[in-house]
């Protein structure tokens, strides 16, 4: 028996076939669209959000995240999204090195991060061997570029600059003519900072009457203060121990985890002289310790967020940061993380490429970059920018004491 197909059934079959073909075409178009979606630009970020460097690196990572969010909100870079591949080094150089190797294997365009010289020296050589630029947001040794040539850049000033600013403030504003120096012997940062401060203080007409080292975490106050009290064992510039009265200023070069406890113990031991340190003091624990022990603590840092005389860029950044995290920037390192990402982004835009070598070449040519922590240029072939230094004093509260571009700066 011959079967017949109605016109309606035939029409329905035709429509179904067309729809199926259309759906297949749409599905294929979606696959093609997905295939054509550009790969994101990947920037590695190594920060020690746990361990002794966390007071500096935690805020810096938050600043870096904020910069990436802002870039993506305005269309990304070169029509591509930016991904920040985050790694926690846990203040362990071996883990920091592993993190760098992992990011290299993922073919990132650049790596940013870290606020300590020893930590950077664990990561930056790995990036350099792979031909990937490394921008440290907060490690301040001016010797770093010589140790990792061609591929390492600083988003911050060098220790010789901040030490010079501190010495100038001590001599001109505080009227100090004698200083005692205590420093952590186990950190490259603290060894360099105390050396540069001594050179700069001498250039200001001051005298370092005693210089003594201690070990990281070594808070045995009797042993620490023995050189200041004329006991044996001190390393004095003049070959003698120094009585406390001879030192009008105590310069204490310590890491962020040790700075606060040391200030408390110095004050408890009866030392009322001004205490000065570097940018590692720019953390809540130190500020709390200074306020609760009578103040008189000074430190140099990269930008004084939330304090008087902040720039328009700093105020805008503070607003953005508060909106994102529900709190103001904890310290200058939040701004440095923000600047490090934008510095790389600026180089990518100028290079019109995410190729690491081209980005490196564009970084070298950076001039007049407007960061929230100040203007930045890599002039005369140096990857260490010359930037102004903020001096903060902590009495009842932290206040901006001065902005200094020092006249004398010791050679690295």
> What pLDDT, in 10s, does the model give residues 353-384?
999 999 999 999 999 999 999 999 998 889 99
383 belongs to a structural domain: no
pLDDT of residue 233: 33
Q: Are 184 and 216 in contact (CB under 8 A)?
A: yes
24 belongs to a structural domain: no
30 belongs to a structural domain: no
80 belongs to a structural domain: yes
List phi, psi (to 5°) of 274: -55, 140
- The crossing angle, in degrees rounded to 10, of helices 117-129 and 188-203 is 110
| H/E stretch holding 351 | helix 332-351
pLDDT of residue 220: 66
| Average pLDDT estimate for 274-284 | 98
pLDDT of residue 310: 79
pTM score of the predicted model: 0.86
16 belongs to a structural domain: no
Residues with Cβ within 8 Å of 273's Cβ and at least 6 positions away in sequence, in order, are 244, 247, 248, 249, 250, 296
pLDDT of residue 35: 56
> What pLDDT, in 10s, does the model give residues 69-80?
999 999 999 999
* Number of independent structural domains in the chain: 2
List phi, psi (to 5°) of 150: 80, -25
| Average pLDDT estimate for 284-294 | 97
Q: In whole angstroms, give the CA distance from residue 330 to residue 406.
A: 26
Residue 135 shares a structural domain with residue 252: no
> What pLDDT, in 10s, does the model give residues 19-31?
344 444 444 544 4
Residue 199 shares a structural domain with residue 250: yes
Residue 281 shares a structural domain with residue 191: yes
What does DSSP say about strands 249-253 and 275-277: parallel, antiparallel, or unpaired? Answer: parallel
Residue 272 shares a structural domain with residue 399: yes
**What is the overall mean pLDDT for the chain?**
89
267 has a pLDDT exceeding 70: yes
Residue 168 shares a structural domain with residue 244: yes
pLDDT of residue 306: 84
Q: In whole angstroms, give the CA distance from residue 200 to residue 163.
A: 7
> What pLDDT, in 10s, does the model give residues 60-115?
999 999 999 999 999 999 999 999 999 999 999 999 999 999 999 999 999 999 99
How far is CA 105 from each of CA 77, 102, 131, 374, rounded to the nearest angstrom?
22, 5, 12, 33
CATH number, domain containing residue 357: 3.40.50.2300
Q: In whole angstroms, give the CA distance from residue 304 to residue 403.
A: 10
Return the half-sphere exposure (C-beta side, CA atoms, 13 A cut-off) of residue 84. 28
Place of tokens 């005298």: 207
pLDDT of residue 230: 53
Residue 49 shares a structural domain with residue 186: no
Return the half-sphere exposure (C-beta side, CA atoms, 13 A cut-off) of residue 226. 12
Q: In whole angstroms, give the CA distance from residue 281 to residue 87.
A: 24
Residue-range definition of the domain harbouring residue 112: 41-157+309-378
Q: Are 186 and 215 in contact (CB under 8 A)?
A: yes
How far is CA 28 from each of CA 16, 20, 34, 90, rounded to the nearest angstrom?
18, 12, 10, 46
Q: In whole angstroms, give the CA distance from residue 325 to residue 328.
A: 8
Retrieve residue 71's tokens: 């870039």
Q: Are 410 and 194 in contact (CB under 8 A)?
A: no
Residue 261 shares a structural domain with residue 125: no
Q: In whole angstroms, give the CA distance from residue 257 to residue 207.
A: 28
> What pLDDT, in 10s, does the model give residues 103-149?
999 999 999 999 999 999 999 999 999 999 999 999 999 999 999 99
Q: What is the DSSP letter of 269?
A: T
Q: In whole angstroms, give the CA distance from residue 133 to residue 125.
A: 10
Q: Please name the residue ranges forming H helices in 150-212.
A: 159-172, 188-203
35 belongs to a structural domain: no
- What is the percentage of the chain residues whose pLDDT exceeds 90? 80
14 belongs to a structural domain: no
Retrieve residue 212's tokens: 């003594």
CB atoms near residue 186 (< 10 Å): 15
> What pLDDT, in 10s, does the model give residues 168-202?
999 999 999 999 999 999 999 999 999 999 999 99
242 has a pLDDT exceeding 70: no
| Average pLDDT estimate for 316-333 | 97
Which of 106, 93, 168 has the alpha carbon at shortest distance from 132?
106
**Residues for the chain: how many in total?**
412
Residue 189 shares a structural domain with residue 285: yes
The strand order across the sheet containing 134-136 reads: 82-88, 41-47, 110-113, 134-136, 152-154
Residue 137 shares a structural domain with residue 237: no
Residue 265 shares a structural domain with residue 399: yes
Q: In whole angstroms, give the CA distance from residue 135 to residue 150.
A: 11
243 has a pLDDT exceeding 80: no
88 belongs to a structural domain: yes
Q: Are 337 and 137 in contact (CB under 8 A)?
A: yes
Q: Which residues pair with 375 in a beta bridge?
A: 370
Residue 356 shares a structural domain with residue 278: no
Residue 127 shares a structural domain with residue 184: no
């Amino acid at each position: 028996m011959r079967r017949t197909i109605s016109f309606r059934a035939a029409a329905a079959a035709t429509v179904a076939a067309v729809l199926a073909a259309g759906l297949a075409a749409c599905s294929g178009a979606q696959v093609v669209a997905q295939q054509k979606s550009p790969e994101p630009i990947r920037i590695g970020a190594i920060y020690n959000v746990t361990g002794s460097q966390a007071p500096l690196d935690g805020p810096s990572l938050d600043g870096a995240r904020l910069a990436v969010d802002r870039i993506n909100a305005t269309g990304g870079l070169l029509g591509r999204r930016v991904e920040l591949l985050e790694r926690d080094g846990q203040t362990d150089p071996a883990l920091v090195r592993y993190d760098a190797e992992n990011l290299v294997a993922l073919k990132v365009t650049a790596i940013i991060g870290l606020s300590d010289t020893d930590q950077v020296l664990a990561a930056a050589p790995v990036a350099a061997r792979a031909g990937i630029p490394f921008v440290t947001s907060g490690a301040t040794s001016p010797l770093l570029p010589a140790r990792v040539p061609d591929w390492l850049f600083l988003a911050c000033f060098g220790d010789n600059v901040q030490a010079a600013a501190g010495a100038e403030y001590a001599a001109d504003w505080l009227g100090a003519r004698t200083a005692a120096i205590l420093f952590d012997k186990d950190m490259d940062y603290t060894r360099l900072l105390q050396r540069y401060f001594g050179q700069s203080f001498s250039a200001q007409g001051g005298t370092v009457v005693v210089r003594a080292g201690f070990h990281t975490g070594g808070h045995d106050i009797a042993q620490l203060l023995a050189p200041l009290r004329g006991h044996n064992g001190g390393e004095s510039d003049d070959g003698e121990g120094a009585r406390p009265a001879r030192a009008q200023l105590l310069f204490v070069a310590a890491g962020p985890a040790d700075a606060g406890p040391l200030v408390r113990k110095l004050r408890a031991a009866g030392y009322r002289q001004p205490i000065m340190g570097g940018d590692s003091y720019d953390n809540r624990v130190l500020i709390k310790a200074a306020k609760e022990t009578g103040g008189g603590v000074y430190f140099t840092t990269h930008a004084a967020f939330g304090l008087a005389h902040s720039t328009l860029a700093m105020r805008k950044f503070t607003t953005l940061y508060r909106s994102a995290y529900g709190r103001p920037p904890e310290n200058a390192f939040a701004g440095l993380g923000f600047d490090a990402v934008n510095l790389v982004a600026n180089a990518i835009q100028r290079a019109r490429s995410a190729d690491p070598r081209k980005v490196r070449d564009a970084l070298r040519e950076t001039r007049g970059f407007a960061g929230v922590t100040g203007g930045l240029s890599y002039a005369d072939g140096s990857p260490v920018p010359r930037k102004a230094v903020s001096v903060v004093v902590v009495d009842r509260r932290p206040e901006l004491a001065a902005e200094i571009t020092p006249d004398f700066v010791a050679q690295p």
